[in-house]
Every structure is written in structure tokens, then in C-alpha cells.
Structure 1
Amino acid sequence: MPKVSIPTLPLSGLFGIVKPSGPTSMSVLTDIKKLAGKSRIFVEADKLGKPDQSKKHSRKRSRFDSVKIGQGGTLDPLADGVLVIGVGRGTKHLNQFLDCTKEYYTTCLLGCETDTYDNEGKRVRLAPWHHVTREKVEAALPKFTGEISQTPPIFSALKMDGRPLYEYARKGIPLPRPIEPRKVTVHSLELVEWKGADHTYEWPQDALDADEKKAMETALKSVESEISLKDDPETPDKGEKPPTFVLKMEVSGGTYVRSIVHDLAHHLNSAGHVVTLTRSRQGKFVMDKPTEGDVSCVPWEVFQRASENSSGETDEDGWTEWEREVLDRLEIIDK
């Protein structure tokens, strides 16, 4: 690997990682912070390994606690893909990645609606799905392209009058007013794969019980009269599975991918929820195959190996594998 000319250390900057599905964005950030706090890339060499005396505490803080680090747009535990990391002065530039254009791939499983609009929630209702075809999905996509008005899910952390929306739904508290729609832009939306029944996905086992459904209906009916969470299931043939399909979309910041899948399924007179979600691009940072002007991301496995490898093997320039990977992709921030 060719040597990289490195400015005076330590550095501040931005780089992208490929977050795996499963862990939270915060836990991933914590793992990276532990590594960054022990690296001469981000910490002055004479301070490495020394306790942080910058603040008085009852116990000494480890050096990595003093490394300023953040991320430019959380991914749900279910989701994988691009997560932009800022270190030092790089954290001041993370807001640009909240509003930038993002690209996603998502898989929709038909026939079942969940409270969170994905497969980590509980079943809300079942709906027919035999009538949905690839052609009908493709014909519906233009209605969800361009500037659209999108209503966030009631099971979300958005607050109304100081109370999270999901609290209204869980406790059966009437909403004081309708959930405010937001204008978002779907630059492109296409069906890239019709899997049909060729998949291993299943509807969630847990379903809202009668009291939970009643609470959710109470919250929603206070602002929208035409609400019904009644099941309308189809009886599939033995061994038959509801279809799935994969969407690729390029959207503006603030877009709820789960809501697009939810609303699209409703438009098709069915129900659906997200079973996979991958952010393949966030601004200039991409998962793979970068084109001119793009920056590739560091695979998560690189950081995993670093966390598990206590020997800290280095290359001829004294860099560990994860440090070299980050240096090769780091956008250095001087201001």
C-alpha cells in the first residue's frame, strides 16, 4: 500500500463506516471512541496512555473519554450501511449529513402491518396480499416520487406537547392534534427486485393485544376518524408465503423510509413492513464502488478485529490496520 502524506498529528476529520445490522449507532460510536482515544491520529503522543486530568471526578477518566466524537445521522439497530463519524473539529461538520441526499435499499414484506413499521415491532393488523403484483407496485411508485407530504409513524420518538408520540399510542392518550406532516423529497424510487415468495422472512410473532389495539385506536381516532386496526387476513395455501420486494430510493434528509413502505402497502390495499434497510450513501460517503468525488467507508470488521486484537500489530509506518484504513479515507478538517 502506498504511503500517505499525513499532516501534523493529531488530526480532526470525518470518515464513514459500514454499520452492521444489530447494534445501535451509539454502541458502535462507543467502540470507535475507545480506539480513537488510544490512537496518535487523534490524541497528542505525549498524552497517550495517561489519565485525563482536565476535569475533577471521584474517579479518573480514561484518555478516550476526552476525544470528541459524534455521528451524522443515527441508523436504527435493524439498519446497516453508511454511518458518518466526526472526530475533534469534524463534529462541527456533522449537521451537513442530516440534510444531505441519502440512498437506501429496503425490503418490504406484504400482508402485515406493525406498530414500528418494521419487523422489530408488534403486529397491528393483517391484510390481503394475493392481489399485489410486481406491475402494481411499479405503477404505484410515481405517487411516492418527487416532493411528497409524509406523516411520521405514531410509534416514533418525535414529541408532541413534550410527550413522545409512542407514549400516546401505548397509553391510549388522545392526540392533542394531528401529527404534522413534513415535506420531503424522493429524488428517485425504483423496484430493483421482486422476490415474490423466494425469501425466509416471517411476520413478527408478537401482536398487539386487545387493550394495546384499543389504546392505539384511541390515540389515532382523536384526530382521524377513519381508523380501523381490524385484521382482514387471507388464508394462504399450505406453505405459501406473502411476497417481498426490494426498493432503491434516493431521498432528502428527514425522510422516513419505513413510512414510504407503510404508505405504499396501504395504497396497494394491503399492509407491509420493512424487513431489511441499508443506507448505501450519505452525501459523498458510499458503501462500495465509489465514483469520482465519492469516499468509501471502513468495513465494521476492521474495528472488530482491532477491538479483539490486543497485540496491536502495526505496519512498517507504525499504523495498525484500523488506523491505516481510517487514514486512507479521512477527510481532514482544519477549522
Structure 2
Amino acid sequence: MPKVLPSFPVSGLFAVAKPSGPTSMSVVNDIKRLVVTSRIFVEEDKIPKKPVSTSTKRHRYTKEIVKIGQGGTLDPLADGVLVIGVGKGTKRLSEFLDCVKEYRTTALFGCETDSFDSEGAVVRVAPWKHVTRELVDEALPKFRGEIQQKPPIFSALKMDGKPLYEYAREGIPLPRPIEARKVTIHNLDVKEWIASDHTFRYPTKKFTDEQKAAVEKALHGIEDQVKVNDEPEQADDTVSATACVLQMKVSGGTYVRSIVHDLGHAIGSAAHVVTLTRSRQGRFTLEPESEKDVACVPWSVFEKALADPGERDADGWTEWERAVIENLEIVEDKHHHNKKDT
């Protein structure tokens, strides 16, 4: 049943199911090319007559047409819920930074990377053949509830105005320890035990001895253990290292990569993220379970429209516009809201 919309244009929130690969910003920019041409969000006399480019020259122009933003970046590797705000909807995006989120992630044991995921370079390899589901299940309780979590040194968080990853790469000692953050892990369980039946492999990028020394220097005097030496098991290229899928519900500000990395240490191994899916962000979800849940628009719908918007239906909407309308949360301005309440 199509939802009844007020007069156009409107401001609103919707979510896209971001694919793994592109950056969140590139996804937003691509969607913006469509949004600025739609009477859902733009007055008809302001819709550009020519196709909209994402080039820098056109950025200011499109910004004047309509504002658009996202409610919490996903790493390029990650897929799943990316909340988009248009018009006055951009003012509501901050709500999604601190809301409860749900993730599914695949952890691959025996290897640690600088970024804590498969996009990074190998920092250290460690034993993994002793890792069992029972061992992981025994370690998980210490990661549940309210915990103190340290963001990775290879992150964009700044200390004295300098990103942490620059200290690590340049071998500059950190001015002080990385501050642990209080986060809440509501649920954390093994969803699937893959063991070695998979095709995941360690990254081919390696940390050089020089780079390892730089990290040790950056962390010197702060971390209890600053050595990043390898402790490899006997190499066997025919055997895949153990992996498992973790499912979790967490508070805003939680680093899923850090949970996987710290879990590797807790079981006497190493680990990094090879897949990451945000399955829920607040009320937006990949799999709606109740009337309050809002589904995501598949990325393929936007991708298809960018290549060819297609024919309009009887109501004058293209396929992508209809998909957005069906999953759009309208944000009314104060004037409309008060009028509705009186």
C-alpha cells in the first residue's frame, strides 16, 4: 500500500543498503545526483535541466539545491545500513551516531593487521590451530556489557590535533596513552563457526621491520607489550586459518574491529575482520521485524537509476523514487509540526 505523502517537496530520512567496496561518501555523492533531480525533495523549478556531475565544481551548486548527508560512516570494506538525510533530515542524523547498532562480522584468526581488518597490512602472525569454538565462547563474556575499549592506533582519531595513525607511521611516541572509551555491548555471540571451510586469506601487504619499529616507538612506555614480532606456526598454504561469524548489538562509538582484534589476543592468537555488515542502525534495518522497523533501499536500485532512470509510472515516479517513497521517514519543519498538533 503506497504511503500518502504531503505536498512536495519534503525533507526526510531513508537508508540505503551500502555494498562492500565504495566509501560512504561516494555512495552519498552518487545518491545526491539523483536526489537533486527529484520532486520528492526539490521544487520543480529548481531541478537542474542537465545531468548532475559529482565534480568539485558542481558541489557548491548542488549543495544550494538541497542538503544531503549520512548518519554514520561505514568503512569501504563494510556493507549494510547507511542512513541518509535530505533537507531538514540532515539535522536528525546526529541521532544515529549514538543509537544502538547491530553488526555481523567474520573474524579470521592467526593474523593481525594495522587497520584491524583485511584492508590493512599484516603486522603480526600468531598461532591459530588451538582456536576452538569453545575457547571463543569462553572468552566472549569479558566483552559483553559495559566495557572500556581502546580505539586502534591506526585510526583517524586525533591526539593533540594529529591523527593517531600518523604517530604510528612516523614512529613518533604518543604524548599519552590512547584513552579508553566506555561502550556497551548488549549482545555478542558466535553466529556461525566456519573453521577452515572458507576462501579467506591473509592480506598480501606486509608490515616491514621499519614499520614495526615505528609502531613500537609510538607505543613505547604506554603499552604493556609493544612488541609486534611474528609467532608463526608451521606454514601450510593448503590449510585456511580458523574463522567465525560474530553477531553483536552495540552502543554508538563501538569499534567492531577492536572487539575482533582484542578477542584474538584474549585467546592467545591474533585476529582481524574480513567481512563486516551493519544490519541495523536505530530503526533502519536490513531485515525488518516489526512495524516500527524501516527497511533499506537496495543499492542496486540507485545504481540502475544512475545508468538509466527508466520510465515513470502512472503517478509520475521512477523506480528509484518509488522505492525511496516506500521507505521514507518524513521530517516536517516546525511550522508544519505545530500546525498538525493544533
Band of TM-score, shorter chain: over 0.9
Q: Distance in 1 between matches of 2:270 and 2:143?
A: 16
TM-score with structure 2 length normalisation?
Answer: 0.92
Instruction: Summarize deviations over 1:60-104 as a string: whole Å, max 9, x none.
Output: 965565210000000000000000000000000000000000000
Q: Tell which deviates more after alignment, 130-139 or 229-238.
A: 229-238
Asked whether the equivalents of residues 108 and 243 of structure 2 are also in contact (C-alpha less than 8 Å), the reply is yes
Asked whether the equivalents of residues 288 and 294 of structure 2 are also in contact (C-alpha less than 8 Å), the reply is no
**Residue in 1 that maps onto 2:93:** 94
CA deviation after TM superposition for structure 1 residue 236, in Å = 4.4
Q: How do 1:157-168 residues align onto structure 2 when only pairs under 5 Å count?
A: 157-168=156-167
**Residue in 1 that maps onto 2:324:** 326
**Residue in 1 that maps onto 2:181:** 182
Moved over 2 A (4+): 58-66
Q: How do 1:265-304 residues align onto structure 2 when only pairs under 5 Å count?
A: 265-304=264-303
Instruction: Summarize deviations over 1:292-325 as a string: whole Å, max 9, x none.
Output: 3100000000000100015x31111110001001
Asked whether the equivalents of residues 199 and 240 of structure 2 are also in contact (C-alpha less than 8 Å), the reply is no
**Residue in 2 that maps onto 1:54:** none
TM-score with structure 1 length normalisation?
Answer: 0.94
Q: Any idea what SS the aligned residue of 1:46 has?
A: helix
Number of equivalent positions: 327
**Residue in 1 that maps onto 2:125:** 126
Q: Distance in 2 between matches of 1:25 and 1:103?
A: 18
Instruction: Summarize deviations over 1:188-244 as a string: whole Å, max 9, x none.
Output: 000010000010000011111011110011001131242211100001456112110
When residues 223 and 59 of structure 1 are mapped into structure 2, their CA distance, relative to the original with a 3 A threshold, is closer
Unmatched segments (≥5 aa) in structure 2: 51-56, 334-342
When residues 226 and 63 of structure 1 are mapped into structure 2, their CA distance, relative to the original with a 3 A threshold, is closer
Q: Tell which deviates more after alignment, 22-31 or 287-296.
A: 287-296
Unmatched segments (≥5 aa) in structure 1: 52-57
Q: Distance in 1 between matches of 2:125 and 2:138?
A: 23
Q: Distance in 2 between matches of 1:300 and 1:237?
A: 39
Q: Any idea what SS the aligned residue of 2:238 has?
A: coil
CA deviation after TM superposition for structure 1 residue 288, in Å = 2.1
When residues 138 and 225 of structure 1 are mapped into structure 2, their CA distance, relative to the original with a 3 A threshold, is closer
Q: Tell which deviates more after alignment, 41-50 or 174-183.
A: 41-50
Asked whether the equivalents of residues 2 and 326 of structure 2 are also in contact (C-alpha less than 8 Å), the reply is no
Q: Any idea what SS the aligned residue of 1:5 has?
A: coil
Q: Distance in 1 between matches of 2:111 and 2:2?
A: 53
Q: Distance in 2 between matches of 1:92 and 1:176?
A: 35
Q: Distance in 2 between matches of 1:63 and 1:258?
A: 35
**Residue in 2 that maps onto 1:171:** 170
Q: How do 1:18-57 residues align onto structure 2 when only pairs under 5 Å count?
A: 18-49=17-48
